[in-house]
Amino acid sequence: MPSGTYRKSLRRLLIVSAGFNRGGSKSHQRLLTVSTGFNRKSRKSLRRLLIVSAGFNRTCRKSLRRLLIVSAGFNRKSHKSLRRLLIVSTGLNRKSHEAIMTKYAFFNGAIVPIDQAKVSVMTHTLNYGTGCFGGLRAYWNPEQEQLYAFRFVDHFRRFLNSAKLLLAELPYTAEELAAITLDLLRTEGWREDCYVRPLLYKADEIIGVRLHNLRDALTIFSVPMGAYLPREDGLRVCTSSWRRVDDTMIPARGKLIGSYVNSALIKSDALLSGYDEALVLSQDGHVAEASAANFFMVRDGVVVTPPITDNVLEGITRRTMMHLCAHALGLPVVERSIDRTELYIADEAFLCGTGVQLAAIGSIDNRTLGDGGMGPVTRQLHTLYFDTVRGRRPEFADWLTPVYDQAKSQSAATQAVAAT
Amino acid sequence: MTKYAYIHGDIVPIEQASISLLNNTFHYGTGCFGGIRGYWNEEQEQLYVFRIEDHFRRFLNSAKMLLCEFDVTPADLAKVTVDLLQREGWRQNCYIRPVAYKDVDFYRVWLHDGNDDIAIVSIPVGTYLEKDEGAKVCVSSWRRVDDTAIPARGKVNGSYVNSALIKSDAMLSGYDEALTLSHDGHVSEGSAANFMMVRDGVIITPPVTDNILEGITRRTIMELARVELGLTVVERPIDRTELYIADEAFFCGTGVQVAAIASIDNRKVGASSPGPITSRISQLYFDVVYGRNPEYMHWLTPVPQTEAVVN
């Protein structure tokens, strides 16, 4: 790949991810130029750039790093200093960067070192998208020195439903899958927030394009997510020119691998046009969801979200938000179809999902919502959600499963307190 | 069995052609592929690859839709493929599968990361077992993915879960194959093959704007029908109930080649299966791909044999 192309796409990436305007791109340019012999000031602006562009996790930062190094076409020495710079700017030293790597995967029925878990390029699902996956999170509570698994059984129940859409059968119940995952997390020993990805795939090699009479296989692995940085400014969102895959084509209600190329088309178009995210309409013109997150808006104190018949993911976080709004905030929640131009006159709007968690929308198609930041309902919900998932709201403790032995982690916490 | 694969710019033993479980395309279908055939001509002891550059041209077009940036030409990919086949030394028909994938982890659901790679493998295939009596076909209750959601015109990995849903439903209901309608109710294609029908001596096939693959075999057959058989070929939308009154109908594609349709929704197609035009097209097609028709040798790329194979 010519380095020019990389540089261009990097620039685009940075500019876009930061939601930057023209001025931002200039400062980035300065940045690259300067990074071969930079001064204090540019370092700061790079850091700001990265932090702003964030909302993303460490690995993304890593690939950004790779990208920057490659794109710059620098000499060896300057690569190194750029790299140091970037590492410092993400608040990670080299060691901790290495330490965050995933070590294990559940693969072929057992927990094995991740480097032993590979699949052939001829795998059916790689070629045809004939699989499904899940996305789960576990949250680290530093006071209790405990990792809390959030709604694992509910997630695996949906995962098995997605499998059913693909005529796949797994010899596990949702409870058994949750137990396997807790084992996996204990083996990794994460002491920070992490993300869990179960994936069901058709393990046969490329043959017929079909779903039945194929070997269904399961893998689960987890990745550390680092600290969550709330984003105060709302996302810049556009309405996508693509349409959501329809339930008569590829169901969006489950997490089917093939349908995510639709999400990726939507997301890249939005980013490359200078937006953070896009909302996608279903074939009939109603708002479905974002590229890979459920959508909510607030109108006149009522929380509104598209119904599950409008080609949306049947999101666990969506259900969680609906429950929290109704039962903790006492707000009416309505599931109904949403028209496109309703987006422009909403009082507040936000996206939610395991990946994005909860992100406020600042503007839609260049029309600012509220003051462009996090609206009052969204802010309340934001606090409530993060308190809940970190185990600070006893009334919602049923949604959490402690990963580590409670007595042990409590005594560790006590010891830690005693030591100080 | 397959011994080699092309991946990361090199031909390597097939066991080394693996991807990480974290791979983006494995999780999100964010890749595209091709399907090419090599035909073994027993008399000439020669393996011919059919329209290899045309296939790679479409392959790179599919990649373009997915914002892949490859610094290769169809001719480059054809050359690599011929090298790969030479190493394998197939002395039988084979199927070639190039796949473009995002060589990045799954963290982001987007396309513009820039780390794209191409892998190519080939597998031996027997002589295709085509049901002589023709396929029993139904109209699927699923709809074809729409160009506004996931384009069917290229071979985008993710769209094939739509094909697989269609195919399995048909097979589990006792049919061999299904025809899929696009969102507006017009006939698009089979689960993974283009569709043609004959009405009053005219060959009719859906246009490329009706959510179909822009098939190389489709183009081949349109040309052979026009030039060799002097038939009129029309691209136009096809209504569902036209299927029931067609004189002949067949599928075509690299996988199915030319496959006659015996019935659609339990209504017999024409008087006999395969019909006379389908039979002639099939005959012509196989003569061309096996290198038995001197007029179309420009569509074939012979694979040179290594000494070891000749001995």
Which pLDDT score, from 0 to 100, does residue A418 have? Answer: 53
The lowest-confidence range among A33-42, A175-184, B135-144 is: A33-42
Scanning A124-153 for CB atoms below 8 A from B yields 125-130, 133
For residues B69 and A121, what is the distance between their CA atoms, to the nearest angstrom? 20
How does pLDDT run across B243-268, given as a tens digit for each residue?
A: 999 999 999 999 999 999 999 999 99
Counting Cα atoms < 13 Å in the Cβ hemisphere of A110 gives 3
Q: Is the ipTM value over 0.85, yes or no? A: yes
DSSP states along A25-77:
HHHHHHHHHHTTS--HHHHHHHHHHHHHH-SS-HHHHHHHHHHHHHHHT--HH
- A9 vs B29: CB contact, 8 Å cut-off? no
Scanning B169-208 for CB atoms below 8 A from A yields 171-172, 183, 191-192
- Say yes or no: B72 contacts chain A, CB-CB below 8 A: no
Statement: residue B88 has pLDDT above 80: yes
How does pLDDT run across A370-413, given as a tens digit for each residue?
A: 999 999 999 999 999 999 999 999 999 999 999 998 766 655 55
For residues A47 and A152, what is the distance between their CA atoms, to the nearest angstrom? 36
Tokens of B250: 């067949």
User: B181 — phi, psi (to 5°)?
Assistant: -95, 150
Which pLDDT score, from 0 to 100, does residue B300 have? Answer: 98
Q: Looking at chain B, how many residues does it have?
A: 311
- Is residue A157 a contact partner of residue A255, using CB atoms and an 8 Å limit? no
- Is residue B72 a contact partner of residue B87, using CB atoms and an 8 Å limit? no
For residues B210 and B188, what is the distance between their CA atoms, to the nearest angstrom? 6
Model confidence band, residue B133 (pLDDT cutoffs 50, 70, 90): confident
Which pLDDT score, from 0 to 100, does residue B129 have? Answer: 52
Beta bridge partners of B100: B32, B118
| Nearest residue, CB atoms, B143 vs list A117, A249, A267 | A249
Beta bridge partners of A191: none
- Measured CA to CA in angstroms, residue B300 lies from A66, B50, B291 at distances of 42, 5, 7
Which pLDDT score, from 0 to 100, does residue A347 have? Answer: 97
Higher pLDDT residue, B69 or B132? Answer: B69
Q: Long-range contact list for A70-74, CB < 8 A, 24+ apart?
A: A70/A3, A70/A6, A71/A3, A71/A6, A71/A7, A71/A10, A71/A32, A72/A7, A72/A32, A72/A35, A72/A36, A73/A3, A73/A7, A74/A35, A74/A36
- Sign, CA torsion B55/B57/A130/B150: negative
| Nearest residue, CB atoms, A212 vs list B14, B101, B172 | B172
- Sign, CA torsion A11/A12/A18/A21: positive
pTM higher than 0.90: no
How does pLDDT run across A129-147, given as a tens digit for each residue?
A: 999 999 999 999 999 999 9
Q: Which residues contact A411 (CB under 8 A, 6 or more apart)?
A: none
| Nearest residue, CB atoms, B109 vs list A5, A248, A263 | A263
The stretch B5-14 carries a mean pLDDT of 97
Counting Cα atoms < 13 Å in the Cβ hemisphere of A349 gives 30
CA distance B104 to chain A (A): 8
The stretch B169-189 carries a mean pLDDT of 96
The stretch A323-330 carries a mean pLDDT of 97
Which pLDDT score, from 0 to 100, does residue B307 have? Answer: 59
Cβ-Cβ contacts under 8 Å between A and B: the total is 227
How does pLDDT run across B212-240, given as a tens digit for each residue?
A: 999 999 999 999 999 999 999 999 999 99
Q: Which of B151, B143, B137, B145 is nearest to B196 (CA)?
A: B137
- B111 vs A268: CB contact, 8 Å cut-off? yes
- B163 vs A128: CB contact, 8 Å cut-off? yes
Statement: residue B25 has pLDDT above 90: yes
Scanning A227-246 for CB atoms below 8 A from B yields 242-246
